[in-house]
């Protein structure tokens, strides 16, 4: 009987010690660490390099044939021309514009749905990301680009963090075609 009591006491003491240790460790809270661009507007993340080439805004789009010409919105279309080069593997890129108040506006594909871009190893892709953002949310906004490996697991941090400094143009924006070329 003494062995049983000693065993139960050992288990209870072990559980108490584990509970005390776990309560001393702060909880895991996922946060984003923002990586700002260098002088050439490049952010070099572990999964790949992302360069912001141009940001423009207007209320109408002229397309490359993948959507109707003269597509309009009550909000503002923001286009971001980016060059993406993965480091060592296929890269799934998810992007959004975050307003100063924390609201998020995901990139759109030709059907108006959220659109991830996939860049394969050995390629460099230059493409235009399209966002639909209310005009009053552009002040203080940032273009946020996250990368995930080919396993599909999206990294929480770090993220590329580009300031969106753009005036809304009159007329339509022309969407340039996507360019895929061998990585240097």
Token pair for residue 3? 């062995």
Cα 42 to Cα 49: distance, rounded to the nearest angstrom: 7
Cα 133 to Cα 141: distance, rounded to the nearest angstrom: 10
Domains parsed from the chain with CATH numbers: 34-182 (2.60.40.2550)
Q: What is the dihedral of CA 75, 76, 82, 87, to 10 degrees?
A: -20
pLDDT of residue 82: 94
> Sign of the CA dihedral 44, 64, 121, 154?
positive
Residues 50/158, Cβ–Cβ less than 8 Å: no
110-148 residue pLDDT tens: 544 455 578 888 889 998 899 999 999 999 999 999 876
Predicted TM-score of the model (pTM): 0.76
3-26 residue pLDDT tens: 888 887 888 888 777 776 666 665
Nearest of 80, 5, 1 to residue 43 by alpha carbon? 80
């Amino acid at each position: 009987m003494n062995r049983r009591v000693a065993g139960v006491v050992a288990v209870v003491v072990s559980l108490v010690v584990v509970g005390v240790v776990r309560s001393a460790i702060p909880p895991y809270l996922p946060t984003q660490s923002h990586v700002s661009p260098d002088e050439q507007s490049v952010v070099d993340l572990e999964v790949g390099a992302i360069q912001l080439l141009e940001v423009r805004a207007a209320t109408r789009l002229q397309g490359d044939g993948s959507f109707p010409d003269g597509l309009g919105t009550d909000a503002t279309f923001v286009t971001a021309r980016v060059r993406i080069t993965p480091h060592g593997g296929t890269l799934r890129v998810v992007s959004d514009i975050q307003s100063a108040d924390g609201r998020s506006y995901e990139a759109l594909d030709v059907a108006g749905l959220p659109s991830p871009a996939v860049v394969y190893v050995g390629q460099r892709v230059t493409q235009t990301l399209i966002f639909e953002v209310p005009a009053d949310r552009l002040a203080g906004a940032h273009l946020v680009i996250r990368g995930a490996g080919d396993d599909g697991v999206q990294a929480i941090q770090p993220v590329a963090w580009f300031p969106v400094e753009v005036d809304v143009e009159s007329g339509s924006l022309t969407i340039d075609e996507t360019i895929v070329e061998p990585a240097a």
